[in-house]
Amino acid sequence: MNQLQRFLAHKAYNLRVSSLIEPAHAGSGHPTTCLSAADIVAVLFFHVMKYDPYAFENPNADRFILSKGHASALLYAVWKEVGMLSEQDLLTYRDFNSVLEGHPTFRFPYTEAATGSLGIGLSIGVGEALAAKIDNRDYRTYVLMGDGEIAEGCVWEAAELANYNTLYNLIAIVDCNRLGQSDETMVGYHADVYAQRFAAFGFESYVVDGHDINALLDVFKKAHAVTDKPVAIIAKTVKGYGLEGIENKNGYHGKAFTQKELPTLLEHLRERFVGAVDAPQDYVWSPTLPKAEAPIDTHPKVVVSPPPYKSGDMVATRKAYGVALAAAGDTCDQIVSLDGDVKNSTYADIFQKAHPERFVQCFIAEQNMVSMAVGMQRRGKIPFVSTFGAFFTRAHDQIRMAAIGQSPLRLVGSHAGVSIGQDGPSQMALEDIALMRALPESVVLYPSDGVSAYALVGCMANYHNGISYLRTTRMDTPTLYNANESFYIGGCKVLKETDNDVACVVAAGVTLHEALKAYEMLKKEGIFISVIDLYSIKPLDSDTLARLGLKSSNLIITVEDHYQEGGLGEAVRSALVDTGIVVCSLAVTKLPRSGKPEELLAWCGIDAQAIINMVK
């Protein structure tokens, strides 16, 4: 061994020691999966990657994504070896007050991605690598995956798009240690099978002994020489490597060893890696630094020009979204648009025509699209992700993980509700409000006309605390507001109000127009109702709801083109639970079918006549 190899072997040894100590003190964790990847991580952090530990957010630095998030102890161990954590810090692993959580989150400042639900890391890496390409930066993104997670379909969605975009700056590393959580993986130790699969998806693929320092140095050198395709390195390793009687055996996944067992296990490591226990005295390490540059401002103020609509114009909110996004892109070059092969339905194609270099066609692979947006956001982009609202359901795990990572994604779901008409129930977003409301720190917006949709795109661009969701509709609706009307997250609009209201009708989207029809029809009979446009469903304006409800005979009627469970009605009912106001809800309560929009609204009991019947 030369000095570099001895130094890296020493660092790998230290990583194994820490990866045993952390779970033992916590009483839980996944030490054996850390031991299999220790050599890979040592080579990456202490030779391959360029980064500055004291300027982690330097936009030119290489990025490391731990997709196998259960190996979090290894991530913390390497940052301790770099010098950013102490031994005492590691002893807080998994404690309630510690930032060293069981799976990485952004409470730990050196986390590149919140992971733990497997199969997501490569998609995030694709987003980061693509951001580098858009910005003409030379950093590389390294994604360390477990072999068990390669069974996830989203891994191959990501692989396909990595090749499509020629992401030679993306290096996927598979820790092929044969064992999953409960059984052997489907491929086992046939590492060449993984290599062939990645090659079939357009990667340059290599198989390497993941415990041979010299071989790892050589394979990364080869990977860096590739300039026309992404790279996959299949590292054949041993789970629990270094522990006699435990390595390469099933039954140890997620099993922390006790503090009583710890001294014996550490002695096993000393005996196994006797030449690596002590660092070479004459070798001085310092990280390879990237070109110095201040971090990107991820919270720029986005100012959007006034909407091009006037009262009475007929426009679909989905089209107003596309127009607004293009206008926002005019003023902020950090805005990017990701679309799932429905740009001519979501109207994301308007942004594409205005800013083609910042439009990303993700094709019909919504899971990868969402996590790609997470990666792009990490590298300073403001991503808007659009598809049919119904199709976000298949990416809900990725959305949930983005929320755990506090990633401010802007999601736009079109074709909401039964009002889309004859395409039928498979295309109708009827669960989306419930799914998005349940996310921590999420915002759910549901505009009813072109002006409000346009304005709310600007609100989303400036919301950075979590996921925001804009629900848009297929059909044209009349413009209700003047171009200078203001909208904000958490607001609503009182459209009708008298001193003799017998009920307050709360609606959004298509059903708001039905409520306004009902108002005019009831008015002819001398019956008055107040009408609220609840364009912000989460958070909502409970004060205005309570004020109007109390002066409208203590009765609120909600009407929505969404299933009853988890929708607008339940949001209003929860907000007013202690007010004494009675909340009655009109919502979709049965499986819809194909038909004309007006037929479906009537059949589901959410049209103007249904509102009139409820009022009476």
Q: What is the pLDDT of residues 429-456, one digit of tens each?
A: 999 999 999 999 999 999 999 999 999 9
What gap in Å lies between CA 37 and CA 176, rounded to an integer?
9
Spatial distance between the Cα atoms of 480 and 312, rounded to a whole number of angstroms? 7
Looking at 349-448, list the stretches that DSSP marks H as alpha helix, in order from N- to C-terminal side: 349-354, 366-378, 396-404, 432-437
pLDDT at 175: 98
Q: Which CA distances in Å does 613 have to 91, 133, 521? A: 65, 58, 11
**In which band, very low, low, confident or very high, does the pLDDT at 596 lie, cut at 50, 70 and 90?**
very high
Give the span between the Cα atoms of 460 and 235, in whole angstroms: 42
Closest CA to 372 of 335, 399, 333: 399
- pTM comes to 0.97
HSE (side-chain half, CA atoms, 13 Å) at 247: 17
* Average pLDDT of the segment spanning 53-61: 97
Q: Which residues pair with 387 in a beta bridge?
A: 413
Query: Distance between CA 155 and CA 371 in Å, rounded?
Result: 11
Residue 37: how many other CB atoms lie within 10 Å: 30
- 366 as an active site residue: the answer is yes
Is 267's pLDDT higher than 90? yes
Q: Assess contact for 183 and 250: CB atoms under 8 A.
A: yes
Mean pLDDT confidence for 93-121: 97
What pLDDT, on the 0 to 100 scale, is given for residue 1?
Answer: 81
240-255 residue pLDDT tens: 999 999 999 999 999 9
Question: How would you label 464-488 residue by residue, b for 16+ Cβ within 10 Å and e otherwise?
Answer: eebbbbbbbbbbebebbbebeeebe
Residue type, 533: D
Query: What is the predicted pLDDT for the residue at 165?
Result: 98
* pLDDT of the residue at 288: 96
Nearest-10 crossing angle of helices 72-82, 31-43: 40
pLDDT exceeds cutoff 90 at 347: yes
pLDDT per position as a tens digit, 451-490: 999 999 999 999 999 999 999 999 999 999 999 999 999 9
pLDDT grade for 608, boundaries at 50, 70 and 90: very high
Measured CA to CA in angstroms, residue 446 lies from 256, 415, 428, 554 at distances of 47, 12, 15, 25
pLDDT, mean over the chain: 97
Tokens of 72: 């979090």
Find the catalytic residue in 204, 247, 366, 560: 366
Are 487 and 459 in contact, with CB atoms under 8 Å apart?
yes
Ordered alpha helix ranges (H), 525-607: 542-550, 568-575, 597-603
What is the identity of the amino acid at 144? L
CATH number of the domain at 315-478, out of 3.40.50.2300, 3.30.310.50, 3.40.50.970, 3.40.50.2000? 3.40.50.970
Nearest to 243 by CA among 231, 257, 230: 257
CATH code, residues 493-615 = 3.40.50.920
| Alpha carbon separation from 331 to 304, 325, 383, 461, 500 (Å, rounded) | 7, 10, 15, 11, 47
Amino acid at 401: M
Taking phi first (over 0 means left), then psi (-120 to 50 degrees means alpha), and beta for anything else, what does residue 95 get?
beta
Q: How far is CA 433 from CA 396, 518, 563, in A?
A: 12, 24, 9
CA 102 to chain centre: 19
DSSP 3-state percent helix, strand, coil across the chain (nearest 5):
40, 15, 40
DSSP secondary-structure letter at 419? G
* pLDDT of the residue at 282: 86
Pairing outcome for strands 501-507 and 528-533 = parallel
Residue 591: burial class (beta carbons within 10 Å; 0-12, 13-18, 19+): exposed
Q: What is the mean pLDDT of residues 81-105?
A: 98
Nearest to 36 by CA among 148, 194, 198, 116: 148
Phi-psi region of 128 (alpha: psi -120 to 50; beta: other; left: phi over 0): alpha
CATH 3.40.50.920 boundaries in the chain:
493-615
CA atoms 459, 351, 387, 592: torsion sign: positive
Q: SS3 for 557? A: strand
Q: Counting Cβ atoms within 10 Å, is residue 133 exposed (0-12), middle (13-18) or buried (19+)?
A: middle
Average pLDDT in the 96-118 region?
A: 97
Which tens digits make up the pLDDT trace of 528-540?
999 999 999 999 9
Q: What is the pLDDT of residue 103?
A: 98
> Which residues of the chain does CATH 3.40.50.970 include?
3-276, 315-478
User: Does the structure show a pLDDT above 90 at 16?
Assistant: yes
Superfamily of structural domain 3-276 = Thiamin diphosphate (ThDP)-binding fold, Pyr/PP domains (3.40.50.970)
Question: What is the tens place of the pLDDT at every residue in 548-574?
Answer: 999 999 999 999 999 999 999 999 999
